[in-house]
Amino acid sequence: MAPAKPLIVGSFVVGGLVLGVAGILLLGSGNLFTQPTRVVVVFTGSVAGLDVGSPVTFRGVRIGKVSSIRVQIDVKRHEDSIPVYLDLDPSLVTWTNGREPSGTSDLAVSVKAGLRAQLMSQSYLTGQLTVNLDTHPDLPLIAQVSIDGVPEIPSIPSDLQDLKDEFRRLDLPGLGRRTRDALVSMQRTLDTLNGAVGPVAQSLQATLAKTTQAVSQVQTDATRTLATIDQLAADGRGQLKTNGDDLDRLLKTAQRTATEADSLLASLNDMTDAHSEMRGDLQASMRDLAATSSSLRSLTEDLQRNPVGTLLRGH
């Protein structure tokens, strides 16, 4: 077998390298030599779950990664912070004017417009975190600053951090003491009520017993009264049945008497009528009786004055 020529082998090696570089450039869309935009975000709370290489997203779209994490401690001020450095891929961000970012000037405009960084959870099971960028126009305007020459994107607390802060502001120990004091006060009130309710309950029980006894007596009296009424009704029915005939005759007699009385009243009305003949006769008789009475009165007076002469004269 003839030995391979070095020129041919070298040509194949160089051709393979050229093809590899071309493939890398094509697959990476030309990002191999693109310089990432380096920014820093300062967090004051815990960043447990955030590691170097963790993704950086904008509303869920990955635009970079975490390049490094540092810890800064100010001994004099007793303050500490955690600067997190991010490498953003400039080819994945298009600004509103339709061009790629030209540098930190566009980033500063975005920060003034409300660009903020916030820790978000990738998975509640693993606890891994990501840095998410988003705009919040309602937040106060903040001028962009730089740390060690790296432009800063201001951070806002995460939802979990807000929840922790809310719990911290609740003053749980004080709330527990107030709750315990309230429970003790309630127990004292219940004890007082139990002491006061005991005699009242006994009084109510005695009153209830008396009321029950009175109701029972009323029921007994009512039963007796109803029995008496039933007996009277039975006696009345018996008397009516026994004396029914007598009552019927009495009613008929009363009816005849009433009829006769009506006839008598009618006769009296006829007698007293102004045009009745009987009334005229009665009036004539009354006049005759009056004249006779007058004559008798005159005779009596004459007899009293002169009895003998009167008798001899004959009048």
For the segment 305-310, the average pLDDT, to the nearest whole number, is 65
What pLDDT is recorded for position 95? 63
114-170: pLDDT as tens digits = 889 999 888 778 888 999 999 888 888 776 677 778 888 898 887 666 555 555 556
Residue 52 is predicted with a pLDDT of 93
Q: Is the pLDDT higher at 1 or at 150?
A: 150
Confidence tier at 230 by pLDDT (50, 70, 90):
confident
22/52: higher pLDDT: 52
Q: Which of 2, 74, 73, 70 is nearest to 40 (CA)?
A: 70
What pLDDT, on a 0 to 100 scale, did the predictor assign at position 300? Answer: 74
pLDDT bin (cut points 50, 70, 90) of residue 70 is very high
Return the number of other C-beta atoms located less than 10 Å from residue 91's C-beta. 15
> Identity (one letter) of the amino acid at 43?
F
Q: Alpha carbon 113 to chain centroid distance? A: 45
Cross-strand bridge partners of residue 115? 135
pLDDT surpassing 80 at residue 82:
yes
Measured distance CA(30)–CA(75) in Å, rounded: 46
Q: Tell me the whole-structure pTM to 2 decimals.
A: 0.45
Given this model, what pLDDT does residue 123 score?
78
Amino acid, single-letter form, for residue 94:
T
Whether the per-residue pLDDT at 28 is higher than 50: the answer is: no
Q: In angstroms, rounded to a whole number, what is the distance separating the alpha carbons of residues 90 and 33?
A: 12
Q: Rounded CA gap, 64 and 36, in Å?
A: 8
- The answer to whether 153 touches 58, Cβ cutoff 8 Å, is no
The predicted structure's pLDDT at residue 130: 92
Whether residue 85 contacts residue 66, with contact meaning beta carbons closer than 8 Å, is answered with yes
Q: What is the pLDDT of residue 87?
A: 93
How far apart (Å, rounded) are the C-alpha atoms in residues 177 and 7? 89
Pairwise pLDDT comparison (102 vs 226), residue with the higher score: 226
pLDDT at 254 over 90: no
Helix, strand, coil in percent for the chain, rounding step 5: 60, 15, 25
The confidence band for 30, taking pLDDT boundaries of 50, 70 and 90, is very low
Q: CA dihedral defined by 81, 48, 87, 162, rounded to 10 degrees?
A: -70
- Asked whether the beta carbons of 151 and 104 are under 8 A apart, the reply is yes
What does the alpha-carbon distance between residue 108 and residue 143 come to, in Å, rounded to a whole number? 7
Q: Specify the 3-state DSSP secondary structure of 159.
A: helix
Altogether, the residues listed in the chain come to a count of: 315
Averaged pLDDT score across all residues of the chain? 76
